[in-house]
Amino acid sequence: MSERPLVESYHENTAGERHFADRITFWDETLRDGEQTPGVYFSPEEKLAVAERLSDIGVGVIDAGIPVVSEKEAASVKLLAEAGLKAKILASARTVPGDVEAVIRSGASHIAVFVAASEVHLRYKLQMTQDEVLAASLASVRRAKEAGLHVAFVTEDTVRAPLDFVERLYRATKEAGADRLVISDTVGIMTPLTFRWFLREFKRRVQPTDWSVHCHNDFGLATANTLAALEEGVNCPHVCVNGLGERAGNASLEEVALCLDALYGVPTGIRTEGLHELSALVEQLSGVPLAANKALVGYNAFSHEAGIHTHGILRHTLTYEPLQPGKVGGSRQLILGKHTGKAALVEKLKERGRTLPEPLLAELLREIKVRTESSGKGAHDRLLKQYRDLFSHPGLSDAEFWELVSALAPPEAA
């Protein structure tokens, strides 16, 4: 009689409902949408350092930025485009001639041409009609193709736009030569079930062969929605390291990659062992602290304090860990604190070849609990205040802004 498995996996029971593409290409947005996180700025050299690491772990496409934004942004894109990386370097452009020409000059091999699609964007932001948006889109796609670029056509707010217009816009740009079609949940309002319906309808109407999704995390559903899209055959997910991005961020590279790899067994081409190091690099260069409880790469992702959990982990890691920390390049920690049990102390003492008799072990455990519960929270309070002060008002302060205004246009000159 065969031995029963230690844990059951029910993912195979839904395999017939999933339709993954034969090959999945990761499109990373850390250096573009990730840099649009309030207060975040990457120098050209920092962008190159992140891009090199992304390329090394197997990311296929890297959005280097929007060259028309500034001279330094254009220089950053050019630096990455000339770095000889395995990943394809992409730059983004609005459906504006100057934007497209800036990408062509940058040396990037790929371009993402983007325009808004929902009525609220057309009426209040672009102040354009659907026909005007279509005309600008076709002109931009054709110019980029003429220049020999791989073209991705992107609409902002796709999932809040009229489907008839979405169909007309994407079918036309596809016929004009767009290589990849990108659907955006710009404000993160999709749920996996609704997104699945939308993607099926889009596929029925537009019949894409190379398509992509860009999901935001406003309701905490970016990763779930991205997985739903991949299950429907989308072959190019947009992701950001550590889930950086506008407002609540984008789908997290590490989460999407590990869900595919560890839960579904779908090949990703991502060397997951490098994710922890990449996460730490982006945390450092972005200046955005990683949440302690961030999935997979957070400081507590493989940490255990509660006695029951620690005891289980020491017997077999599968009790309280879904995968080995080394899978993402991380490490396990047994935390000594209020909830610690004797098993953790015994394991800790082994580090120096020590053992203690039961009475002393009990006394040591009591002292740890007393010390933990009586310790003040001053250091935490100071750190939290600094964090709130910094991130509640990122960028220039009011004082710095008015100082600049006064320098450029003194009040007496007004």
All residues at 6 or more sequence positions from 200 whose CB lies less than 8 Å from its CB, including other chains: 232
Q: What is the predicted pLDDT for the residue at 308?
A: 85
**pLDDT (average), residues 54-75:** 97
pLDDT surpassing 60 at residue 220: yes
Is the distance from CB of 237 to CB of 208 less than 8 angstroms?
A: no
- At residue 75, what is the residue type? A
Q: What are 84-139's pLDDT values in tens digits?
A: 999 999 999 999 999 999 999 999 999 999 999 999 999 999 999 999 999 999 99
| Domains in the chain: ranges and CATH | 19-286 (3.20.20.70), 303-374 (no CATH), 378-409 (no CATH)
> What percent of the chain lies above the pLDDT cut of 90?
83
Q: What is the predicted pLDDT for the residue at 205?
A: 98
The model's pTM is 0.94
More confident residue, 378 or 119: 119
**pLDDT (average), residues 376-395:** 87
Mean pLDDT rounded to a whole number for the chain = 95
pLDDT surpassing 80 at residue 412: no
CA distance 44 to 296: 28
Q: What are 289-311's pLDDT values in tens digits?
A: 999 999 999 999 999 888 888 88
CA distance 240 to 263: 20
Is the distance from CB of 212 to CB of 152 less than 8 angstroms?
A: yes
State the first-to-last Cα distance of the chain, in angstroms, to the nearest integer: 90
Is the distance from CB of 58 to CB of 88 less than 8 angstroms?
A: no
**pLDDT (average), residues 328-344:** 90
CA distance 291 to 301: 10
pLDDT surpassing 60 at residue 413: no
Q: What is the predicted pLDDT for the residue at 85?
A: 98
Chain-centre distance for alpha carbon 23: 20
**pLDDT (average), residues 193-207:** 98
Tokens of 354: 């020590």
Q: Quick one: CA torsion of 287, 293, 295, 299, rounded to 10 degrees?
A: 70
Q: What are 154-181's pLDDT values in tens digits?
A: 999 999 999 999 999 999 999 999 999 9
Q: How confident is the model at residue 396 (pLDDT cuts 50, 70, 90)?
A: confident
Q: What are 267-288's pLDDT values in tens digits?
A: 999 999 999 999 999 999 999 9
**pLDDT (average), residues 3-8:** 90
